[in-house]
Amino acid sequence: MGELAAALAHEIKQPIAAAAANAGACLGFLEGERPDILEAREAASGTIGCARRAAEIIDHVRSLFKKGFPQREPVDVNELIREIALLLKNDIRRNSVTVRLELAENLPEIAGDRVQLEQVLMNLMLNAIESMHDARGDLTITSQSTDDGHLSISVSDTGVGIPADKIDHIFDTFFTTKPQGTGMGLAISRSIVESHGGRLWATSNSERGSTFQFTLPHKV
């Protein structure tokens, strides 16, 4: 119960914060001397979308802890990476991060749970961005096909890196190196990847920062 509560709190924080921002913007557009109805409508629509995403996350995290099978649908991983990068553009700008997408062309689709895979990418990319807070660092996301029938996705940063004595524990439930962390993001991400028949691991970069890499089979 503790793990489930912490997981839900961690995963729905982002869409709830976005919904609140959209709702605030909507009020701002309506309260001016000349209300901007079009902008207010778009902000209200964004609020609805974020609320729906929060509800989807609750359902999907609950099914994950019930050890149920993920909902399968064709997923274009490159498209997913681009969507999450766009969704996190404010975080990227606020932390002065430079993003590089090195995505192989013509990758095969995978059969996966789109919402859960979005959670994995968002967790990994947010962690990378936060590790480079005000450091004007580089975030590189790559995708490629492997010889053994898998897709390989990596998220690499030039942040503070992972202490050598912590790298074996970062995927443990409730373990965190961040003052305000819940210790759930990486644990959830590994569970999702493994439920898709893949693997998630982390390494320290030779110069600076760390790289998180995961694989997903073309067909599961």
Question: Per-residue pLDDT tens for 62-93?
Answer: 665 665 555 688 999 999 999 888 878 777 88
* One-letter amino acid for residue 172 of the chain: D
pLDDT of residue 81: 95
The pTM of this model reads 0.71
How many angstroms separate the most distant Cα atoms in the chain?
62
The proportion of the chain whose per-residue pLDDT surpasses 70, expressed as a percent, equals: 83
pLDDT band at 51 (very low <50, low <70, confident <90, very high): confident
Above 80 in pLDDT, residue 1?
A: no
Above 80 in pLDDT, residue 13?
A: no
3-state secondary structure the chain: CHHHHHHHHHHHHHHHHHHHHHHHHHHHHHHCCCCCHHHHHHHHHHHHHHHHHHHHHHHHHHHHHCCCCCCCEEECHHHHHHHHHHHCHHHHHHCCCEEEEEECCCCCCEEECHHHHHHHHHHHHHHHHHHCCCCCCEEEEEEEECCCCEEEEEEEECCCCCCCCCCCCCCCCCCCCCCCCCCCHHHHHHHHHHHCCCEEEEEECCCCCEEEEEEEECCC
pLDDT tens sequence across 140-184: 999 999 988 899 999 999 988 887 777 777 777 654 555 454 456
pLDDT of residue 174: 57
pLDDT of residue 179: 46
Q: How many CB atoms lie within 10 A of CB 220?
A: 14
pLDDT tens sequence across 96-154: 899 999 999 999 999 998 888 988 998 899 889 988 877 789 999 999 999 888 999 99
Mean pLDDT across the chain: 82
